[in-house]
Amino acid sequence: MRTIKAVRARIGRKWLGTCVSAIATVTAAVCLFLVSCKQGKKDASDDYRLEATGDVKEFVLDSDVRYNLFYAWLFKEKTGKSYFSFLNYRTNQIYFYDWQTGQLVKKLTLHAEGPDGVVQVSGCYVQDFDHIYVSTYAYSGLIRVDTLAHIVQKIPYGKTEKGYDVLPSYTPSSHPYLPPLFMGDETYISQSGVERFCPLEKTPLTVAVDTVRRVCRELLPTYSVLTGEEKAANDLRFSRIATDRGMAYSFYVKEDLVIAPDNAEEVRLVKAKSRYITSPTGEHKETERGPQLGLELARYGDMIYDPYREVYYRFAYPKTTLDSHIQWWGKSVYGRKKFSIILLDKDFRIIGETLFPEGIYNSYVFLVAEEGLYISRDYQMLTGNSEDTITFERFELKKQ
Assess whether pLDDT exceeds 60 at residue 18: no
Beta-strand relationship, 238-243 and 215-222: unpaired
Question: What does the alpha-carbon distance between residue 250 and residue 260 come to, in Å, rounded to a whole number?
Answer: 11
DSSP string, 96-156: EEETTT--EEEEEEPPSSSTT---SEEEEEEEETTEEEEEETTEEEEEEE-TTS-EEEEEE
Q: 353 forms bridges with which residues in the sheet?
A: 342
CB atoms under 10 Å from CB of 204, counted, come to: 20
**Which residues fall within 8 angstroms of residue 126, CB to CB, at 6 or more apart?**
73, 75, 85, 94, 132, 133
In whole angstroms, what separates CA 10 from the centre of its chain?
A: 74
Alpha carbon distances (Å) from 196 to 170, 177, 193, 285, 388: 16, 24, 9, 19, 41
The domain segmentation of the chain, as residue ranges, is 1-41, 42-399
The confidence score (pLDDT) of residue 309 equals 97
Assess whether pLDDT exceeds 90 at residue 305: yes
Cis peptide bond upstream of 176, omega within 30: yes
CB atoms under 10 Å from CB of 149, counted, come to: 17
Question: What does the alpha-carbon distance between residue 347 and residue 243 come to, in Å, rounded to a whole number?
Answer: 10
CATH number for the domain formed by residue range(s) 42-399? 2.120.10.30
Q: 342 forms bridges with which residues in the sheet?
A: 314, 353
Containing 15, the helix (H) or strand (E) segment is helix 2-40
Please, are residues 318 and 298 in contact by the beta-carbon 8 Å criterion? yes
Question: What does the alpha-carbon distance between residue 69 and residue 82 come to, in Å, rounded to a whole number?
Answer: 18
Q: Model confidence at 169, in pLDDT bands (50, 70, 90)? A: confident
Q: How do residues 321-372 score in pLDDT, each as one tens digit?
A: 999 888 888 888 899 999 999 999 999 999 999 999 999 999 999 999 999 9
Own/partner contacts of 257-260, CB < 8 Å, gap of 24 or more, are: 257/303, 257/314, 257/348, 258/205, 258/221, 258/225, 259/348, 260/205, 260/206, 260/219, 260/220, 260/221
Determine phi and psi for 193, rounding to 5 degrees.
Answer: -90, 110
Residue 125: closest CA among 62, 84, 174:
174
Q: How do residues 238-295 score in pLDDT, each as one tens digit?
A: 999 999 888 999 999 999 999 998 766 789 999 999 999 999 999 887 777 888 999 9
Pairwise pLDDT comparison (140 vs 89), residue with the higher score: 140
The confidence score (pLDDT) of residue 264 equals 64
- Reading phi first (left if > 0) and then psi (alpha if -120 to 50, else beta), residue 102 is in left
Alpha carbon distances (Å) from 277 to 41, 253, 258, 273: 25, 11, 18, 7
Average pLDDT for the chain: 89
Assess whether pLDDT exceeds 60 at residue 16: no
Assess whether pLDDT exceeds 50 at residue 26: no
The confidence score (pLDDT) of residue 35 equals 43
Q: Model confidence at 82, in pLDDT bands (50, 70, 90)? A: very high
Please, are residues 189 and 167 in contact by the beta-carbon 8 Å criterion? no
Assess whether pLDDT exceeds 80 at residue 30: no
Q: Please, is 122 exposed, middle or buried when counting C-beta atoms within 10 Å of its C-beta (0-12, 13-18, 19+)?
A: buried
CB atoms under 10 Å from CB of 263, counted, come to: 8
- Return the percentage of the chain with pLDDT > 90, whole number: 75
Q: How do residues 108-166 score in pLDDT, each as one tens digit?
A: 999 999 999 999 999 999 999 999 999 999 999 999 999 999 999 999 999 999 999 99
